[in-house]
Structure 1
Amino acid sequence: MMHKTRGGRSIALTALTIGSIAVLAGCGTAGGGDAGGGDEAEELGDFESSVSILAWPGYVEDGSNDPAIDWVSGFEELTGCTVEAKTYGTSDEAVNLMKTGEYDVVAASGDATLRLIAAGDVAPVNTDLIPSYAGVFDFLKDKEWNSVDGQSYGVPHGYGANLLLYNTEVFTEAPTSWDVVFDGASAYTGKVTAYDSPIYIADAAVYLMTHQPDLGIQNPYALDETQFQAAVDLLKEQRAHIGEYWSDYLKEVQAFETGDSVVGTTWQVIQNVLAGEEAPTEVVLPEEGATGWSDTWMIASDAASPNCAYAWLDWIASPETNAAATAYFGEAPSSQEACDYRDDCEAYHAGDADYAEQIWYWTTPIADCVDGRTDVECVDYAKWTEAWSEIKG
């Protein structure tokens, strides 16, 4: 699956989080503390010499790709924890890599987090040991994709909505509904695009929540067999009108620049790139709402460097670091304080709780329905994956 883009702007980074990291360093015992393992850490100790991080491209930048883009070196200088980073391309890949036990920290999207928790590959996180957590937007905390039974399993990183992108020369008035890519897609046959991932089934479910209310869908990631089949059937109907499914944002940019695509799902940063190229495009959040993402930094249950891992979670959530990382990646930051270091928070609707309430953040579909129902079994992600192959044909 996924993910987003490495686009964005350069932000100079200074170590304003020295105080909070220093607090962590002084919290524990000289021997290394109790962090890690399968239980929530109670205290922290001395930093280890390194920390191994698994993340999306663009999340752990040390200046090697662009000398101006570096929020790793300050962390290393401050803590003495040398960062060893590996990137991955899909959530499925991240889940498999975490099973190797080679990584201390992972940045996971909501279609991976519950799988990692259920497998025991990540540990509960004691947010009291992460000073920066206090500033994180409340609407990103204690959610079904980053917490279980009130226990936090990580720190929110950034977030965004999957928006509707359209060609303004084709649509003289802004569309207000996802209808243009579903029931009304025949008007744009061959020029409709959609995100290439099983999690896109949830986009169909969001549409059906409004247009087929008798299905009783309350959460697009909690679908019983009847609800799931309705979403799959809708996507099979849509398939006849799809010109291309996309997962590489550059390909979507190119398709809208050439006119090969005129309408489909997108991210705000893709519209930013298109606007920079003066392409005739705009984005809208349709009246039905939308799916979206809120990524979470998580700590491995058997982390070899738990103290450095906790320090990283605090560092990456601190205002200036979070501003740099999320701006470079192309998403809203996780705190209002981070907006002090960005000039584009308004474009990403950062901190707008009403806007955020319209987003159904990616959540791993599991048999135990995440909408709270106990009288039925929901369709799990493995079956979503099977269905996606059938949809694409």
Structure 2
Amino acid sequence: MTNPGRLAGMFAGAKLGVQMRNPVRLNILTIALVASASFPVAEAFADGELNLLTWEGYADDAFVKPFTEKTGCAVNPTYVSSNDEMVSKAISAGSATIDLVSPSNDATLVLIDAGAVEALDISKLPHLKDYYPAFQKPAWLTKGDDLYGVPYGFGYIRVALKEGAVPGADSVKALWDPALKGKIAIWDNLESLYLAARYVGVKDVYNMTDEELDASMKALIALKPNIVKFWASDAEFTELYASGGILGGNTTELALSKIWGEGHGDLVDIETKEKRGGWSDSWMVVKGAGENPCTYAWLDWVSSAESQAIASKVTGYAYSNAKAFDLLDDATKALLTKLKTNDPKVLNEVDWWQPVARRSKYLEVFNQAKAASAP
């Protein structure tokens, strides 16, 4: 998650970096068992091939190999480190060299509006009916009546604090408590400007006015006495907490899982009154690539519960097909339940990332806040 290209990508909330996407093989036996389940793709396309532009972990052998064995479609992944790289290459290269891309939800509408991706034939995607309602036809993949992507991995941005650090904490406002002076770490990303915006009551953090941006900047500056570090990776946040250097901050479910797994069960995922930011990756078909028979074979496979259960074990993420949860081992089910990534009510309350038209202004404000002296 440390890759600076992704963290500094051209879209708001340019999502978590490549290190976070490296395969996390939690239970090889479970992967093998799930992979042996019935494969949803019926046809085989001998000597076909598929070119993917995606994140590390999204073309892992654990689920690519059974796909290739069943369909005959060879998968050729090219990995990127930022949404801007993915969008730029998809628009410039087109289906001549790329069949599918997997951008985050703050970039999908950019591709749709540019005409770089094509609407999906949902009659070829029967597993979509098994998706959580929040992902069946999300706004970031829809134009008119058409759906332009198959939702895949997702996650939320969390506010987490050591138990008892701020008694009764139920709001992002807890991070501003004087008791946390010099004891929190904040993500070095626009998501932390959104955090400050929610603190001052902004409802649409992705379309702020100048006045709202100014208020958010002042709130972030007011938080600086509590900030010991602007973190750039899950590992950095995890190490700070494990060493006692911080009592919490804003973070990700992968960091929480790692910290809990290392025996620090006292870090609490705060259920804030304000909405959480959320990312969602989706598979999208580059314009013209729908004619490749391997394209819909891949979309059918990666949208299935079987495939997504394998992917969850590989990457550590939650996935969009609700039935995938039932195929996981008990320990993983317990973890995802604790993280509330399988709760439809919570999914509907997430403030999912969107493109920010004035991103340069947002970055200017965020950088001013970081450079300002603590009050």
* Pairwise same-fold verdict (TM > 0.5): yes
Paired with 1:358 and 1:290, the residues of 2 have a C-alpha distance of 8
Q: Which amino acid aligns with 1:251?
A: E
- Equivalent residue letter for 2:41: I
Report if aligned partners of 1:17, 1:315 keep a CA contact under 8 Å in 2: no
User: Which structure 2 residues correspond to residues 47-86 of structure 1 after superposition, within 5 A?
Assistant: 49-62=48-61, 70-86=62-78
| Corresponding position of 2:131 | 136
Percent identity, please. Answer: 25
Per the TM alignment, residue 8 of structure 1 is displaced from its structure 2 partner at its CA by 5.8
**Distance (whole Å) between structure 2 residues aligned to residue 236 and residue 91 of structure 1:** 28
- Secondary structure in 2 matching 1:21: coil
SS class of match (1:226) = helix
Residues 171 and 270 in structure 2, CA contact (< 8 A), matched pair in contact too: no
Match of 1:308 among 289, 294, 309: 294
Partner of 1:14: 35
CA 1:239–1:83 in 2, change beyond 3 Å: closer, same or farther?
farther
Cross-structure match for 1:331: 317
Equivalent pair of 1:206/1:291 in contact (CA under 8 Å): no
> Which secondary structure does the structure 2 equivalent of 1:346 belong to?
helix
Q: How does 1:107-146 map to 2 (within 5 A)?
A: 107-146=102-141
Among candidates 319, 322, 342, match of residue 305 of structure 2: 319
Distance 1:92 1:385 in 2: 15
- Which amino acid is 2:234 matched to? Y
Letter of the aligned partner of 1:178 in structure 2?
V
Please state which structure has a larger fraction of its residues in helix: 2
Q: Give the superposed CA RMSD.
A: 2.5
> Any conservation in 2 of the 1:59–1:325 contact (CA below 8 Å)?
yes
TM-score, normalisation: structure 2: 0.82
Q: How far off its partner does 1:83 sit?
A: 0.9
Aligned to 1:244: 229
SS at match of 1:110: coil
* Deviation digits for residues 209-244 of structure 1 (CA, Å, limit 9, x no counterpart): 3xxxxxxx4432232333233223322333454222
Whole-angstrom CA distance in 2 between matches of 1:107 and 1:249: 21
Contact 2:53 2:77 in 1 (8 A): yes
Q: How does 1:1-393 map to 2 (within 5 A)?
A: 1=7, 2-3=15-16, 4-6=20-22, 7=24, 9-10=26-27, 11-12=31-32, 13-14=34-35, 16=37, 18=39, 20-22=40-42, 25=43, 49-62=48-61, 70-101=62-93, 102-168=97-163, 171=165, 173=167, 175-181=169-175, 183-184=176-177, 186-209=178-201, 217-279=202-264, 280-303=266-289, 306-342=292-328, 343=330, 344=333, 345-366=336-357, 380-393=358-371
Structure 1 Cα separation of the partners of residues 269 and 169 of structure 2: 9
Calculate the TM-score normalised by the size of structure 1: 0.78
Q: Give the number of equivalent residue pairs.
A: 341
Measure, in 2, the Cα distance between the counterparts of 1:123 and 1:287.
Answer: 38
1:341-390 superposed Cα distances (whole Å, 9 cap, x missing partner) = 11324233244222223311111123xxxxxxxxxxxxx33433343333
Residues in 1 aligned to 2:213 and 2:68: alpha-carbon distance in whole angstroms: 47
- Cα distance between partner residues in 2 of 1:300 and 1:80: 21
